[in-house]
A and B are shown apart, each in its own frame.
Chain A
Amino acid sequence: MEALTRIARAGIRVAELTAAEEKANSAAQMAGLAYGLAAIGPGVGIGIIFGKAIESMARQPESAGMVRTTMFLGVAFTEALALIGFVAFILLKFA
């Protein structure tokens, strides 16, 4: 009898997900897709930057230092787009 009242007091409640939680779930599922899309452009861009940098270094090895610095700056700017996508992914999925 004691046990039964305890269970009753525990009050097992079965509820369906609210609308807000369902929205959060779908947002979490879309997050992966969103990040995948955000990575396409910067991926191509960084490839082009490195390719061109290697080309110009091969053409003019004496200017390799300057090319490398500029290359890293370009990569940093391009990469920022992918990273903003990554942050958006974290926001959608975990916030």
Chain B
Amino acid sequence: MQAAEEGESTRGFHFPPINTLLRWKDITPGINKVVLISIAAALIGTVLFLIAANRDHKTAPKGARNLAEIAVEFIEKNIIMETMGRSGLGWTPFLLTMFIFIYICNVPGIIPFIQMPATARMGIPAFMALLVWVVYNATGIKNQGPIGYFKNVLFPPGVPKALYILVTPIEFISTLVVRPFSLAVRLFANMLAGHLLLVIFALLSEALIQAETQRIFLIPIGVLPFGVLMFLTAFEILVAFLQAYIFTTLTAVYLGMATHPEH
């Protein structure tokens, strides 16, 4: 315990305690950096779509409107049509909001001077996963009735009756427990791992380039972790997008399963 709080030290390279990397002091009571990022994400999304919606819609889209329309079409074509089909198009605003919010919460991880993905804290992923859990269960109950829905979930049709002893507990756990848990953990752990990787390589480069002894050797070597840092930053842009995409796609898959049970 003590060692963790004081930080790790290997031959002069000090890794700070993890909570100083992740927990931020309150700027004003109850508001810290992560809170600010999540508010900013909602605000940026709102402003973007406000500008987009108020542009002249008759001419070819440009700027904010173009961006917003690309996002809408991406959600419709690449997420909903691929997973739920035409009947799922009513979910576009929900999935679009979710995608944009998660993406804008992810991206600060690589923006200089902010460098903290809001989703690297458990709060937002946990809430989103819980919301998805509530929404897909409610959709299932609304579409198939409470009895029909739980019958379809717990006793999937087409399974021999004797196997229900095995299948029912597995289905119960996988649908009602593992889905929201893995949804939250996937987003959170991906962003946390990316953030820690960036921190480690940034600290390593700093330690090597500002070395006090054997500077002739250590400073050129410091270029290597810096190059890796640059590569990882580019990689994190991809990861930020991919995690938002996967979260939204899985939500769409779960919603599709709740709307139309497998036959």
Chain A residues engaging chain B, CB cutoff 8 angstroms: 20-21, 24-25, 28, 65-66, 69, 72-73, 76-77, 79-80, 83-84, 86-87, 90, 93-94
- Is B250 in contact with A76, judged by CB distance below 8 angstroms? yes
Take A66-B82, A86-B189 as given contacts and tell me if A73 and B1 are in contact as well, using a CB distance cutoff of 8 Å: no
In the complex, whether B152 has a CB less than 8 A from a CB of chain A is no
In the complex, whether B242 has a CB less than 8 A from a CB of chain A is yes
Chain B residues engaging chain A, CB cutoff 8 angstroms: 1-4, 17-19, 78, 82-83, 182, 185-186, 189-190, 192-193, 242, 245-246, 249-250, 253
Distance from A75 Cβ to chain B, minimum over Cβ atoms (Å):
8
Take A28-B4, A90-B18, A94-B4 as given contacts and tell me if A72 and B242 are in contact as well, using a CB distance cutoff of 8 Å: yes
A selection of 13 A-B contacts at a CB cut-off of 8 Å is A21-B2, A24-B1, A28-B4, A69-B82, A72-B249, A80-B185, A83-B185, A83-B189, A83-B190, A83-B193, A87-B185, A90-B192, A94-B4
- Is B185 in contact with A84, judged by CB distance below 8 angstroms? yes
Residue of B nearest to A81 (CB): B182
Distance from B119 Cβ to chain A, minimum over Cβ atoms (Å):
13
Q: Is the interface of B mostly helix, strand, loop or mixed?
A: helix
> CA of A77 to CA of B17 in the docked complex: distance in angstroms?
31
Distance from A62 Cβ to chain B, minimum over Cβ atoms (Å):
15
- Is A93 in contact with B82, judged by CB distance below 8 angstroms? no
Residue of A nearest to B4 (CB): A94
- Is B250 in contact with A73, judged by CB distance below 8 angstroms? yes
Distance from B253 Cβ to chain A, minimum over Cβ atoms (Å):
7
Interchain pairs with CB closer than 8 A, number: 55
- Is B1 in contact with A69, judged by CB distance below 8 angstroms? no
Q: Which of A20, A69, A79, A90 contacts B186 (CB 8 A)?
A: A79
Residues of B within 8 A of A90 (CB): 18, 192
Distance from A56 Cβ to chain B, minimum over Cβ atoms (Å):
16
- Is B253 in contact with A73, judged by CB distance below 8 angstroms? yes
- Is A69 in contact with B249, judged by CB distance below 8 angstroms? yes
The 7 closest A-B pairs by CB, nearest first: A83-B189, A69-B82, A76-B246, A80-B182, A94-B18, A24-B1, A86-B189
Most buried by B among A25, A72, A73, A76: A76
> CA of A24 to CA of B82 in the docked complex: distance in angstroms?
47
Known contacts A69-B82, A73-B250, A83-B190; can you find 4 more A-B pairs with CB under 8 A?
A: A24-B4, A28-B4, A77-B182, A84-B185
Residue of A nearest to B178 (CB): A80
- Is B249 in contact with A80, judged by CB distance below 8 angstroms? no
Distance from A61 Cβ to chain B, minimum over Cβ atoms (Å):
17
Distance from B123 Cβ to chain A, minimum over Cβ atoms (Å):
15
- Is B189 in contact with A87, judged by CB distance below 8 angstroms? yes
- Is A25 in contact with B3, judged by CB distance below 8 angstroms? yes
> CA of A73 to CA of B257 in the docked complex: distance in angstroms?
14
Distance from B125 Cβ to chain A, minimum over Cβ atoms (Å):
11
